[in-house]
Structure formats: C-alpha cells, structure tokens
Amino acid sequence: MRVLQAVALLVAGAASGVAAVAVHGHWWGLPLAAVAVLVTLVAVGPGWSTRLPFAVGFVGVVARLSLTRPEGDFVLAADAPGYLLLLLTLVVAGFALGTLPRPGRGRHPVDADVPPRMSADEH
C-alpha cells in the first residue's frame, strides 16, 4: 500500500511541477503555485512514502524543464519569476529532506534486552 501511495504522490508532485512551470510567468501564477505546493507538502505529512515522493516529483520536473530544449530555448525563463520558481524548488527539496523521520527512531537499540554489566563492586 505504501508503494502505491508513494507512486501516486510522485505523479502528483510531477503534475504540480508541470502546472507551476506553466503558470509561473503570470502575475498570479507563481504565488498560486507556491501556496499550492507548500500546503500540499504540509498536508501529506513527513515520511519516506509521503512528503519525499511528492517533493521528488516536483523537483524532478522543474529541474528537467529548466534545461535547454533541443531548439535552444528554455521553458523556464531566466527572469525573476523563473529564479523564484527555482528558489521554491530548493525550499521544497530542503523542507522534504529536513523533515524526514530519522532512521531507527522509535525502535529499541539492538541490545535493549541485554542486562547491564555489573561493576566490580557488585561481584
């Protein structure tokens, strides 16, 4: 079930990236994209199968669309809205990575059931 959830959020993140690139040039587009993406990141919650796949989808699409096209032009312009969208991409990546649960958190140490050693005074 987690794999299906991760794939769905990856696709949703990629679709959000395409939408953000499509509307970022309009005066209303970039603020709308930023609010939508950041609210979605908060709503899905932290996790390896929730927030991270959404962010990977978004960042991957925006990064890919920022590269030069075969014709020599760009989808993402080198102007203020374009750079702000790239900044949003860095914020999304940083927020997703920074809020991941730490591996092993909530688990018991390997030797938790081993009794502590006795000191020399207790022998």
Q: Give me 84's structure tokens.
A: 């702000």
Model confidence at 111, pLDDT cuts 50, 70, 90, reads very low
Residue 116 lies in a domain: no
Residue 111 lies in a domain: no
**Considering Cα of 52, then 89, then 15, then 95, what sign does the dihedral take?**
positive
Residue 46 lies in a domain: yes
Residue 121 lies in a domain: no
Residue 120 lies in a domain: no
Give ∠ CA 10-14-16 in degrees, rounded to 5.
115
Domain span including residue 15: 2-101
Please tell me the distance from the alpha carbon of residue 72 to that of residue 96, in angstroms, as a whole number: 32
Least confident residue range of 10-19, 26-35, 37-46, 103-112: 103-112
Residue 20 lies in a domain: yes
Amino acid at 85: L
Instruction: Bin 47: left if φ > 0, else alpha if -120 < ψ < 50, else beta.
Output: left
Could you tell me how far CA 61 lies from the centroid of its own chain?
Answer: 12
pLDDT in tens, 43-82: 999 999 999 999 999 999 999 999 887 777 778 878 899 9
Q: Specify the number of domains making up the chain.
A: 1
Residue 110 lies in a domain: no
Residue 108 lies in a domain: no
